[in-house]
């Protein structure tokens, strides 16, 4: 089975089209463009089961003699790679049956055969015909092909007639033309194909249609509400992280701990933690990022694999970032949503939210639309932050710690426990936005509101603005008000206050609890976790930058 990622995304598409991509093109042109032209890929249960079905035929075995030397006795060859520049096709054939001087390609599919007896699905017919054309171009006689459907244990013969050949060649021309286009096809409308598609979380078909057409149609939640995989935090100084089978093995003074790779979404290491080369190689190959922090929680950076190879997406981002009007338009959305979300958090958590502060935040959110430059916007946001933090203490109800008296925001370094918690929460949120943007294919270091500066993930800081109160500030409020964090969980050195290892452990548990919390999306109406929201918002920003939807929909909680 050919890899769906055999391409240079964003540049010239290779001349030869994999036969499997012809199947994808026939099934859904948008899926084909996302996979082959943009280099996007994601697994689900179907793709994993598909690899299991192919496991036997993916191992190369058997010989394929030249056409003139085919023996009369039956034989088989598995995982045969052939190409034809004339047909502009390349194919990895699961199984070749050699008999009577002819060859018959057999393609394995995990699903069931159609209800129509003796008929294969149309995308599968085009794929095996493409394989037959490649064989013919290499001098072999091929009169029929076979599709084997594993779920129904059905073998369906596909005659390679002139009608099918003409359809296949026309599909090849259309697929190559689409692959060389920078325009992504529109998603299918309310299609039954979407729920089983592994790329549905990348495609966002219903969400894109709603925002592009503004038709008010119901949006299906086609992806899980939350991820099963979770970040792993390693903060014990001198710890080592190694690999044992399909598990991460962590050795520290506290003992040995394990996490299965399949259950791990990130590895976050703090300070002096060693990672073996084998473990790092495995993590990067599996698409699991490694996030690096100072011992005190300062986010240094991230190690990750190649990630998305969609250069077109980044070109759209770079054009917008160099367009002052476009940058200002996006920055206004980030700041206005942040101010309104701050106002909502005060109304929810303050015992008696000052009406003057609420009115000020609402007024400033309207002033955002009148800001004529980023400098003006910075002033509006600064005024909003001062108003918000002037009332922040009213949301805190510490049970036993007088040091939790909050007098205002301070940082670098934070000089009291609440500011220490806030700084760590913002660092974690910046980390998660950086990881999300890298996974989506956007450049986290080139923003629209926060200007580029060496080492600063400006776009991550842009997008986290509207989530600061909803995620970071909420974690701090819950830790204090629920009594989960106490005075003994902090340490003070030279006027700087930071968390002890036990305090950070409690913080990470609360933070991940918040990220896994299910909320109703204010635009789409379905319930998903905050961690999933970050990915959805990042992909919607990419859609807005490419022009597929008119504008970026800010996330404003109700």
Range 466-471 average pLDDT: 95
Helix axes 355-367, 374-390, angle to 10 degrees: 170
CATH class (in words) of the domain with range 311-546: mainly alpha
What is the 3-class SS of 360-398, one letter each residue?
Answer: HHHHHHHHHHHCCCHHHHHHHHHHHHHHHHHCHHHHCCC
Inform me whether the pLDDT recorded for 496 exceeds 70. yes
Percent of the chain with pLDDT over 90: 42
Q: What is the average pLDDT across 95-106?
A: 89
The reported pLDDT for the residue numbered 23 is: 92
Beta strands 247-252 and 264-270 are unpaired
How deeply is 272 buried, as exposed, middle or buried, from its count of CB atoms within 10 A (0-12, 13-18, 19+)? exposed
CATH 3.40.50.10800 fits 17-180, yes or no: no
List, for residues 286-318, the tens digit of each pLDDT value. 888 898 888 877 787 888 887 666 788 889 999
* CATH fold of the domain at 230-303: Ribosomal Protein L15; Chain: K; domain 2 (3.100.10)
- Give the confidence band of 542 by pLDDT, cuts at 50, 70, 90: very high
pLDDT at 54: 56
Query: Mean pLDDT throughout 364-390?
Result: 90
Over residues 126-165, the pLDDT tens digits come to 999 999 999 999 999 999 999 999 888 899 999 999 999 9
What does DSSP assign to residue 61? B
pLDDT band at 46 (very low <50, low <70, confident <90, very high): low
User: What band does 553 get if pLDDT is binned at 50, 70 and 90?
Assistant: very high
3-class DSSP state for residue 535?
A: helix
Residue among 415, 414, 432 at smallest CA distance from 423: 414
Task: Check residue 8 and give its pLDDT.
Answer: 40
Rg of the chain over Cα atoms, rounded to whole angstroms, equals: 28
| Distance, CA of 431 to CA of 443 (rounded, Å) | 14
Averaged pLDDT, 169-192: 89
**Residue with more model confidence, 504 or 89:** 89
pLDDT band at 3 (very low <50, low <70, confident <90, very high): very low
Closest CA to 442 of 540, 347, 324, 346: 540
Q: How far is CA 208 from the centre of its chain?
A: 16
CA distance 42 to 307: 11
pLDDT bin (cut points 50, 70, 90) of residue 402 is low
Phi, psi dihedrals of residue 358, rounded to the nearest 5°: -60, -45
- Average of pLDDT values for 260-287? 89
Predicted confidence (pLDDT) at residue 510 exceeds the cutoff of 90: yes
Q: Provide the pLDDT for residue 49.
A: 61
Average pLDDT over residues 459-472: 95
Element (H, E) at 240: strand 240-244
- Model confidence at 39, in pLDDT bands (50, 70, 90)? confident
pLDDT of res. 40:
80
State pLDDT tens for residues 198-224.
Answer: 888 888 888 888 888 766 678 888 887
| Cβ atoms of 202 and 44 closer than 8 Å | no
Higher pLDDT, 553 or 69: 553
3-class SS of residue 340 = helix
Q: Are 425 and 474 in contact (CB under 8 A)?
A: no
The pLDDT value given to residue 5: 37
Mean pLDDT of 516-530: 91
Quick one: pLDDT at residue 417?
A: 87
Q: What is the rounded CA–CA span in Å between residue 286 and residue 259?
A: 14
CA distance linking residue 558 with residue 555, whole number of Å: 10
More confident residue, 14 or 100: 100
Phi, psi of 142, rounded to the nearest 5 degrees: -140, 110
Going by C-alpha positions, the residue among 127, 129, 137, 72 that lies closest to residue 98 is 72
Can you give the residue ranges of every domain in the chain?
A: 17-180, 230-303, 311-546
* Residues 85, 66: Cα–Cα separation, whole Å: 18
Question: What is the C-alpha separation between 406 and 44, in angstroms, rounded?
Answer: 46
Q: What is the structure's pLDDT at 230?
A: 86
Q: Look-up: residue for tokens 């050919």?
A: 2
Note whether 464 and 409 are within 8 A (CB): no
Separation of alpha carbons 280 and 154, rounded Å = 43
Mean pLDDT of the chain: 86
Percent of the residues in the chain that have a pLDDT greater than 70, as a whole number: 91
Whether residue 162 is preceded by a cis peptide bond, meaning omega within 30 degrees of 0, is: no
Q: Residues in the chain, how many?
A: 558
Q: What digits encode the pLDDT tens for the residues 193-205?
A: 888 888 888 888 8
Judged by DSSP in three states, 453 sits in coil
User: Which are the contacts of 83, defined by CB distance < 8 A and separation ≥ 6?
Assistant: 16, 89, 90, 91, 134
Question: Other CB atoms closer than 10 Å to residue 100's CB: what's the count?
Answer: 10
More confident residue, 71 or 438: 438
Give the confidence band of 258 by pLDDT, cuts at 50, 70, 90: confident
């Amino acid at each position: 089975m050919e890899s769906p990622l055999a391409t240079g995304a964003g540049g010239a598409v290779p001349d030869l089209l994999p036969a499997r991509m012809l199947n994808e093109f026939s099934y859904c042109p948008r899926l084909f463009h996302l996979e082959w032209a943009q280099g996007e890929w994601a697994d689900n249960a179907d793709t994993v089961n598909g690899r299991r079905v192919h496991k036997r035929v993916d191992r190369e075995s058997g010989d394929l003699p030249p056409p003139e030397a085919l023996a009369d006795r039956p034989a088989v060859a598995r995982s045969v790679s052939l190409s034809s520049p004339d047909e502009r096709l390349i194919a990895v054939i699961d199984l070749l049956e050699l008999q009577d001087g002819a060859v018959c390609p057999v393609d394995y599919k995990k699903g069931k055969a159609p209800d129509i007896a003796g008929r294969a699905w149309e995308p599968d017919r085009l794929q095996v015909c493409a394989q037959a054309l490649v064989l013919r171009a290499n001098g072999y006689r091929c009169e029929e092909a076979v599709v084997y459907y594993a779920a129904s244990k059905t073998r369906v013969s596909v005659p390679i007639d002139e009608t099918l050949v003409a359809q296949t060649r026309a599909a090849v021309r259309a697929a190559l033309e689409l692959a060389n286009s920078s325009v992504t096809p529109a998603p299918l409308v309310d299609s039954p194909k979407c729920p089983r598609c592994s790329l549905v979380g990348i495609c966002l078909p219903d969400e894109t249609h709603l925002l592009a057409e503004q038709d008010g149609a119901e949006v299906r939640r086609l992806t899980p509400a939350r991820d099963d995989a979770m970040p792993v935090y390693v903060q014990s100084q001198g710890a080592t992280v190694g690999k044992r089978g399909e598990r991460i093995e962590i050795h520290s003074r506290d003992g040995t701990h394990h996490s299965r790779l399949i259950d791990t979404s990130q590895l976050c290491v703090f300070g002096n933690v060693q990672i073996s080369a084998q473990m790092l190689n495995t993590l990067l190959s599996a698409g699991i990022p490694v996030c690096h922090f100072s011992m005190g929680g300062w986010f240094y950076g991230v190690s990750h694999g190649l990630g998305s190879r969609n250069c077109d997406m980044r070109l759209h981002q770079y054009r917008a970032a160099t367009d002052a009007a476009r940058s200002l338009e996006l920055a206004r959305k980030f700041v206005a949503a942040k101010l309104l979300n701050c106002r909502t958090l005060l109304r929810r958590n303050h015992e008696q939210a000052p009406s003057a502060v609420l009115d000020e935040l609402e007024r400033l959110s309207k002033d955002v639309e009148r800001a004529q430059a980023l400098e003006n916007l910075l002033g509006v946001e600064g005024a909003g932050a001062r108003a918000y933090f002037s009332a922040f203490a009213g949301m805190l109800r510490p049970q036993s710690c007088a040091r939790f008296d909050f007098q205002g925001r301070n940082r670098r370094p934070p000089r009291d426990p609440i500011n220490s918690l806030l700084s760590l929460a913002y660092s974690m949120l910046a980390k998660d936005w950086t990881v999300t943007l890298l996974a989506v294919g956007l450049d986290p270091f080139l923003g629209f509101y926060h200007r580029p500066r060496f080492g600063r993930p400006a776009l991550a800081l842009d997008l986290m603005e509207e989530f600061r109160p909803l995620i970071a500030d909420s974690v701090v409020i819950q830790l204090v008000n629920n009594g989960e964090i106490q005075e003994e969980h902090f340490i003070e050195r030279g006027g700087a206050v930071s968390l002890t290892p036990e305090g950070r452990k409690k913080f990470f548990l609360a933070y991940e609890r918040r990220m896994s919390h299910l909320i109703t999306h204010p635009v789409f109406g379905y319930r998903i976790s905050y961690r999933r929201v970050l990915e959805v918002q990042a992909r919607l920003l990419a859609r807005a930058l490419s022009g597929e939807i008119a504008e970026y929909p800010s996330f404003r909680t109700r």
